[in-house]
């Protein structure tokens, strides 16, 4: 039975009750998808100019459309239909946080589509700053499972709490 | 194009350095927690030890991953682990002092302690049930050897 640090326990605690089902996800496909998206952004950066809008728009479209319509999740499709069956990649299933990643995927895909638009109209500096920031978050998640959104929200919560903290001493 | 390739290479090197530093920091933080006195940690949590290994789960009101992913894992852990650990949920927005004492930067975060208050493991971000179960097993073994 869970006990909260507020002294509450059982069904009134933060954790709650119930027999949970723990779904597993293909970590290999997730990481392949993330690195492929970063690769597309890097390709756009290397190519430069307005043509760079194409790989960034493709990455944004795969991120955004693939979240809601699974056939558009191209990299996962390739991993599941070809790379894993052919033995090029080895499937690894694990229970991990996909709720935050789904939100991040929609946000990141949206930002990359906006960046492609900005590049198309010649605003390259804000486009690369924004797309680079999103790519950095993806790299951190893909490499060390670091959730930048979780970090930011935790810091905001603590700042808000700190504002109401009584002064001691 | 060459300049851009070189710039990407430098960014890659910086990222590798950041990852290395974050791992070093995590090891250092665990070492600091292991050296901290058990009494300080219990006081920060505002609980008293009851002889069971402990999993401290840090969360915040805006943490969707805590509610949807980490908490189900903790419920499963209670059912899976023998002995069942004591799970202490800490809302960092209500207990910032506890978060400070454990050096929590992000949520969800979990810290596994033996029944005598020795920190055995600290996990940043989501921790899966198998990992926590293994850490609890080690914490229980650590408690048993400490009580001998």
Q: What is the pLDDT of residues B118-137, one digit of tens each?
A: 899 999 888 988 899 999 99
pLDDT of residue A99: 79
Of the given ranges (A137-141, A147-151, A163-167), which has the lowest mean pLDDT?
A163-167
The rounded distance, in Å, linking the Cα atoms of B121 and B34 is 9
Query: Is the pLDDT reported for residue A13 higher than 90?
Result: no
pLDDT confidence band for B8 (50 / 70 / 90): confident
ipTM confidence: 0.74
Query: Is the pLDDT reported for residue B105 higher than 80?
Result: yes
What mean pLDDT value characterizes chain B? 86
- Cβ of B35: how many Cβ atoms within 10 Å? 8
Predicted TM-score (pTM) of this structure: 0.79
What mean pLDDT value characterizes chain A? 83
Is A153–B126 a contact, with Cβ atoms under 8 angstroms apart? Answer: no
Angle at A104 between CA A20 and CA B70, to 5 degrees: 25
> A82-111: per-residue pLDDT in tens?
999 999 999 998 888 787 888 899 999 999
Return the H-helix or E-strand segment holding A36.
helix A27-47
**Does residue A164 belong to the interface with chain B, where contact is any CB pair within 8 Å?**
no
Of the given ranges (A3-7, A26-30, A34-38), which has the lowest mean pLDDT?
A3-7
Q: Is A168 helix (H, G, I), strand (E, B) or coil?
A: coil
State how far Cα A161 lies from the chain centre: 27
pLDDT of residue A51: 92
Residues of chain B with pLDDT > 90, as a percent, come to 19
pLDDT confidence band for B145 (50 / 70 / 90): low
Average pLDDT over residues B76-95: 87
Query: Is the pLDDT reported for residue B107 higher than 70?
Result: yes
Contact A150, B125 (CB under 8 A): yes
Of the given ranges (A55-59, A94-98, B70-74, B89-93), which has the lowest mean pLDDT?
A94-98
Q: According to DSSP H, which parts of chain B are helical? A: 2-35, 38-45, 64-65, 71-80, 96-101, 129-147
Average pLDDT over residues B46-68: 87
- Residue with the bigger pLDDT between A50 and A16: it is A50
**Could you tell me which chain B residue has the CA closest to the CA of A47?**
B1
**Could you tell me which chain B residue has the CA closest to the CA of A23?**
B69
pLDDT of residue A138: 94
Q: Which residues contact A159 (CB under 8 A, 6 or more apart)?
A: none
CA distance B116 to chain A (A): 18
Chain B CB contacts of A134 below 8 Å = none
CA distance B147 to chain A (A): 24
pLDDT of residue B82: 78
Out of A15, A94, A158, the one facing B96 most closely (by C-beta) is A158
pLDDT of residue B69: 85
pLDDT of residue A3: 47
Average pLDDT over residues A3-26: 56
Out of B7, B68, B107, the one facing A154 most closely (by C-beta) is B107
pLDDT of residue B143: 63
pLDDT of residue A128: 94
pLDDT of residue B140: 86
Average pLDDT over residues A5-14: 41
> A35-88: per-residue pLDDT in tens?
999 999 999 999 888 899 999 999 999 999 999 998 899 999 999 999 999 999
Query: Is the pLDDT reported for residue B17 higher than 60?
Result: yes
**Does residue B12 belong to the interface with chain A, where contact is any CB pair within 8 Å?**
no
């Amino acid at each position: 039975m869970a006990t909260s640090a507020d002294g509450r326990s059982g069904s009134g605690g933060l954790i709650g009750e119930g027999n949970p089902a723990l779904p597993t996800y293909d970590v290999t496909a997730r990481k392949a998808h993330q690195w492929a998206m970063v690769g597309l952004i890097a390709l756009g950066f290397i190519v430069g100019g307005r043509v760079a809008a194409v790989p960034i728009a493709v990455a944004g479209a795969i991120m955004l459309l693939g979240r809601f319509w699974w056939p558009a999740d191209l990299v996962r499709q390739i991993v599941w239909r070809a790379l894993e069956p052919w033995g090029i990649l080895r499937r690894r299933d694990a229970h991990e946080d996909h709720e935050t990643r789904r939100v991040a995927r929609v946000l990141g895909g949206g930002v990359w589509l906006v960046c492609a638009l900005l590049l198309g109209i010649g605003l390259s500096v804000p486009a690369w700053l924004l797309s680079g920031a999103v790519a950095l978050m993806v790299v951190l998640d893909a490499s060390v499972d670091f959730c930048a959104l979780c970090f930011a929200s935790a810091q905001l919560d603590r700042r808000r709490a700190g504002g109401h903290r009584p002064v001691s001493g | 194009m060459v300049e851009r390739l070189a710039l990407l290479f430098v960014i890659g090197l910086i990222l590798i350095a950041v990852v290395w530093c974050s791992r070093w920091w995590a090891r250092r933080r665990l070492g600091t927690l292991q050296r901290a006195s058990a009494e300080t940690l219990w006081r920060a949590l505002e609980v008293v030890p009851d002889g069971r290994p402990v999993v401290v789960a840090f969360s915040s009101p805006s943490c969707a991953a805590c509610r949807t992913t980490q908490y189900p894992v903790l419920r499963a852990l209670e059912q899976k682990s023998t002995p069942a650990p004591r799970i202490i949920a800490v809302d960092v927005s209500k207990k910032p002092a506890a978060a400070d004492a454990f050096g929590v930067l992000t949520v969800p975060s979990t810290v596994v302690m033996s029944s005598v208050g020795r920190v055995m493991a600290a996990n940043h971000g989501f921790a899966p049930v198998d990992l926590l179960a293994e850490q609890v097993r080690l914490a229980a073994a650590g408690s048993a050897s400490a009580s001998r």
